[in-house]
Structure formats: structure tokens, C-alpha cells
Amino acid sequence: MAGGARLRDGSPKPLSFPPPTATAASPESIVTTTAFITHPSCLQHEMGPDHPECPDRLRAIHDQIIASGLEPHLTRLEAPAATADQLARVHERRYVDAIEAAAPSSGLRYLDPDTALNPHSVTAARHAAGAVVHGVDLVCSGEYQRVFCAVRPPGHHAESRRAMGFCVFNSIAVGAAHAMAAHDLSRVAIVDFDVHHGNGTEEMFTDDPRVLMVSTFQYPLYPYSGVDNPAPNMVNIPLSAGNGGAEFRDAVRKHWLPALDEHEPELILISAGFDAHREDPLAGLAFVEDDYAWVTRELASVAKRHADGRIVSSLEGGYALSALGRSVVAHVRELVAN
């Protein structure tokens, strides 16, 4: 969370992130099975010059993807905007309408002390959710097996009728609801390794037996939820400040993997926050890139066992720019390779 971040009005920085194209940049010899979905509006959503949830996050990811050599293995696609009906599967319709109406024509409008809209934010939030919807369509049609959505604002704190914690629309939840409504899936898993508990996702799917949510997060830490599992389909594993890869992997092996194998998900969705990294300024866990690579391999194995390999992952947190870019590379590399 922003903590002491100072928020004030600011106009968007000029864009330097090249727009995605629908054309694979890869040589003909490489068949890409992984789509990388983003949208230019995600660079225009800005909550003030000192806000940690900033457009440079996407630029850092872009730079590290290029430097890593992964680019030829990815097909870049542009995210469509989620429709109001798609958003209203998990948000109250009047909330969707209120967010649309709240977009300012200039400056910032605050939805909570840490979450603001600039004139581009609602468009960005709709494309962020639309990226996950599109990703679900792509893996359910078999066109791609893996999708990473490099989008912002993040989504997992957004509840059915409340924006909070940098989040406006709950993109991963919109994607899960779309998978069930449009593709008739009856077993979906949502994996959340962001350092903050995904309270919004939990609120939307508690007691929905079609959705298994497994998560790790630091506690106590914003939003201070998740310690009690409210329903059998929620597997929340709080970690303590200072915990690192050993404790994370232990939690995954003991709690996530058995629950996932029992649920037999037809699709795995990942709320991919990278703010549990040891360099992250907003939290106190100590994950490193190899932990993100490891968990991605484990999830790829689960996906192969139950879901025809289908994984759609969407960016949540991660605020140390270099660590964020390196961690996304570690994650995406395993999505591509496994």
C-alpha cells in the first residue's frame, strides 16, 4: 500500500512504451504459445507523481522482457475493453455505473485515500479487465495455452461495490466469471501470491464452490483480512514479516497443491503480484525471482494435470521497478517453457 505516498494532481507523462501489435515479432521458426496482453491506456492511468502504482511499472516490465530475450517467444496482443455486462458479473451494476460517472475530465478524483482516477483511469481499468477476459477466451479456444496480462490498475482489492488499494475493477474475478459464464467451465482456480490479501476476490467468490482461491500474503498488512478462511473454497495462508522462499514454498506444497489437485481446475488464473519480493518497498516478505519461477513451474504442472495447461496470469502489485521487471521475466519465462 502507499503508506506515506504523497498524492497530488499531475498530468500523464508522455508515452514511450510502444503500443502492442497483433503481429508476433518472432521468427517463423518459433511457434508462440504464450500471449502477452496489454493496452496503451494502462500507461495513461496515473495517480500523481509520487504514487508507487505508476506507469513506469509497465515500462520496467517491458524493458526486462526485451533484455531477457523472451520477446520472440511472446505474441503481443492489445486488450479489448471489458463490457459493462462482463464487469457486472462480479461488481454491482450501480458500482460500474458510478465508476464510469466518476471519471474526472481533468486532475484526480479519489475513490479512497490511495486510489484515484485521472481522465484515463476508467478506460485503463476496463482494458485491464478486458485483457483477462480476452486471455480466458484465447486459452479456452485453444489459440494460446498461456497468457500474461501486463495491465494496470491492479484489481484484487476491488470488491463488488468498493474500489480500494489501487484497484478499481477486479480483473481476475471478471475473468473467472467470464470463464464460467461464457465457456461453461465449472471448476476454476484463482492463485494469488501478491503480498497483500486479495480481499475483493475473496468477497466475490466466497461460498461459490466452482471457484477455489489459494493465496499467500503477509499478515498483518493491508488490507488486514484473510486470516480466517470464510468458506471451504478459500485457502488463505498468511506469512509473517521476514518470511521468504522457504516459508512460501512450504505453504504451497502443504496447502495449495493438495487443494488444487482436489479441485481439478479446468483453468488457472493468477493474481500475479510481485510485491512479496525482498526489494519491494511496501511490504516485508523476502521472495526472490527464483521463488516466482518455482511457483510458476508448480502451477504449470497443476495446469497440465487438470486444465490442458491453461493459465491466464494478470499483474497485480510490485513496486520496486527493477525487481518487478526481473520477477515478471522469471514468471513469464516459466509460462513459456513449461
CB of 20 to Zn ion, least distance (A): 24
C-beta closer to Zn ion: residue 89 or 196: 196
**CB under 5 A: which stretch of 21-29, 56-64, 229-237, 275-283 binds Zn ion?**
275-283
The DSSP call for residue 256 is I
| Catalytic one of 127, 157, 178, 306 | 157
C-beta closer to Zn ion: residue 55 or 317: 317
C-beta closer to Zn ion: residue 186 or 240: 240
Q: How far is the CA of 317 from the CAs of 48, 78, 137, 171, 257, in angstroms? A: 17, 21, 24, 13, 23
CB of 194 to Zn ion, least distance (A): 4
C-beta closer to Zn ion: residue 45 or 178: 45
Binders of Zn ion in range 290-329 (CB under 5 A) = 317
Q: Which helix (H) or strand (E) holds 325?
A: helix 321-337
Q: Which residue has the cell 503481429?
A: 23
CB of 53 to Zn ion, least distance (A): 9
CA angle 86, 87, 91 (to 5 degrees): 135
* 51 is an interface residue for Zn ion by CB under 5 A: no
Please select the residue that binds Zn ion; options are 275, 289, 291, 334, rule is CB under 5 A. 275
Binders of Zn ion in range 176-205 (CB under 5 A) = 194, 196
Label residues 143-167 b or e (16+ Cβ within 10 Å = b): ebbbbbbbbbbbbbbbbeebbbbbb
Residues 171 and 132 sit within 8 Å (Cβ to Cβ):
yes
Active site residue 277: no
By beta-carbon distance, which residue lies closest to Zn ion? Answer: 317
- Separation of alpha carbons 118 and 116, rounded Å: 7
- Separation of alpha carbons 13 and 16, rounded Å: 9
CB of 15 to Zn ion, least distance (A): 25
Please select the residue that binds Zn ion; options are 52, 226, 273, 325, rule is CB under 5 A. 273
- Residues composing the chain: 338
Q: In the complex, which residues of this chain contact Zn ion (CB under 5 A)?
A: 194, 196, 273, 275, 317
List, by residue number, the catalytic residues: 157
